[in-house]
Amino acid sequence: MMLEWEQQRAAMVAEQLRPRNIRDERVLAALARVPRHMFVPPSLRERAYADMALPIEANQTISQPFIVALMAEGLGLRGNERVLEIGTGSGYAAAILAQLAAHVTTVERHPTLATAARRVLDELRYTNITVLDGDGSLGWPAAAPYDAISVPAGAPDVPPALLDQLADGGRLLIPVGPPDDQRLLRIVRRGDEWQRIEWGAVRFVPLIGAAGWDDDPPQMP
């Protein structure tokens, strides 16, 4: 079965990611290594490498592989960075980032998800990931500054706390806007200034928290 999973990952890279212009070879290699099937419910494992989001606990989802790859590539990681991820979810994206950076701090507001992610990441022997319970919209200032921040959830605006926790030269990727009109922003800090580039329309679950939406956010149409 292990060979079959490896073949499915190889096909995912060749048929889903390369044709959609994911070009960073380190990102592609990480997607080919990390066992996504370990991060989805057992009943959905046969679809683990399909180009789709899948439901997990707490009414959340594991993002489709292309989105995980796009976010990872956009951070421009080279191996020595300290990364903050907002919204651990299943832990899959954190595992990808951990292949690309020195350390990943990931914050999850659902304790059940944080616990499940820790269990899988421990089983897979990741030693450079710290999973924390908390309001990710406020970041995690205790471990700041970060060389890169990934926010795989749509916010009404860019949380000021995340900008403050970004190191000089650091990169922040975050979708901003209501569920039906989100835009993915790539923000680079240059001293006391932030360069913003819009990467186009996206569709993410809402970022819930003090600097995000409240517990009753706008619904996706």
CA 171 to chain CA centroid, nearest Å: 13
CB 197 within 8 A of CB 215: no
- Residue 150 appears among annotated catalytic residues: no
**What is the maximum alpha-carbon separation in the chain?**
52
CB 66 within 8 A of CB 52: no
CB 5 within 8 A of CB 35: yes
C-alpha distances out from residue 105 to 8, 159, 191, Å: 29, 17, 23
Report DSSP state, residue 17: I
**Catalytic, out of 63, 90, 137, 150:** 63
Return the active site residues: 63
